[in-house]
Structure 1
């Protein structure tokens, strides 16, 4: 069996317990693998497991968010598709953001560069779309950063309130907010 089949279990585990809280026994329970099998599939240990999950999330982000933003079609429709992809990625707000979780504790130093790259590519793709629609670089970048901030903040608030409604409201309103004023020209 390939290590790719363990990604969903590992993603759920790291989302729930973070890097420091994902003990070997929890990893073994989540994957159904014993210690020897875990190290056979992931010789680099827990760090390799998280790196594998981040690579998976990078691929999902590329396919369902970045390619949509860079693709063809009207900008409002592409922004809506981005939000639909984000909603699926975070299970309509029921799941926290792994990247945010990895910026806390001992994982920060190990995974910060990868998380920063993922966030920057997302911000850049939104800003590029908005600049193509006529916004200045500074305003487009601000809106893109605010969009990612709204999504990430709504995920935290939804988790804290134990209700995905905040996240759902943000992703439903976001395409219109990003495109505000652009349809008047």
Structure 2
């Protein structure tokens, strides 16, 4: 009997879930295979570079997601700033499962993950910051204020994910989303 084909999207989502919860060092090949629905041999066939290549693929996927769901949305000058922010926050809420998921960058910024992927992590965070800075400038903030508010937004959203996980409650994350809305109110 032939096994059902597993899509690239399913594989990346499975890998991401393990890396989010375990980080790079804590993620075992057995857990990665289980999360993708593949046997280890099939996983290695798709990712001959092993766990490092899997992590790189997940980070590339996250970079693409930020570009499409945050950067392009927040920088679209054809759309009113309030609408841009609303759409971006809906996307952010979805990627973090309303505050139930931790940030991939946080999980991979420990130990070996940072040593191997620090440049990719930094690029993704900078893209996030630039996105919110563009929005800030669109609502009349000067360049410095826009970047400071972008950094504060990142800190609050990421910090709220840690707090939400620790408290087993999505309330801190949802409050951070609301605070972000207020920060960019016109």
Distance in 1 (alpha carbons) for counterparts of 2:92 and 2:125? 13
CA RMSD of aligned residues (A): 1.4
TM-score by length of 1: 0.91
Cα distance between partner residues in 2 of 1:120 and 1:80: 21
SS of equivalent to 1:106 = helix
Matches within 5 A, 1:154-173: 154-173=160-179
Count how many residue pairs are aligned between Structure 1 and Structure 2: 180
> Do residues 28 (structure 1) and 38 (structure 2) align?
no
In the superposition, relative to structure 1, how do residues 132 and 101 fare at CA in structure 2: closer, same or farther (>3 Å)?
Answer: same
Farther off after superposition, 12-21 or 150-159:
12-21
Structure 2: tracts of 5 or more residues without a match: none
Query: Is the counterpart of residue 114 in structure 1 residue 117 in structure 2?
Result: no
Does residue 62 of structure 1 match 2:51? no
On the 8 A contact 2:24/2:108 being kept in 1, the answer is: yes
Q: If the length of structure 2 is used for normalisation, what is the TM-score? A: 0.91
Instruction: Identify the residue that residue 6 of structure 1 maps to in structure 2.
Output: 11
Q: For 2:47 and 2:179, locate their aligned partners in 1 and report how far apart those are by CA, in whole Å.
A: 41
Q: Verify the 8 A CA contact 1:92 1:167 in the aligned structure 2.
A: yes
Counterparts of 2:68 and 2:42 in 1: how far apart (Å)? 31
In the aligned structure 2, how far is the partner of 1:62 from the partner of 1:3? 19
Q: Unpaired segments of 5 or more residues in structure 1?
A: none
C-alpha contact 1:147 1:178 (8 A) present in aligned 2: no
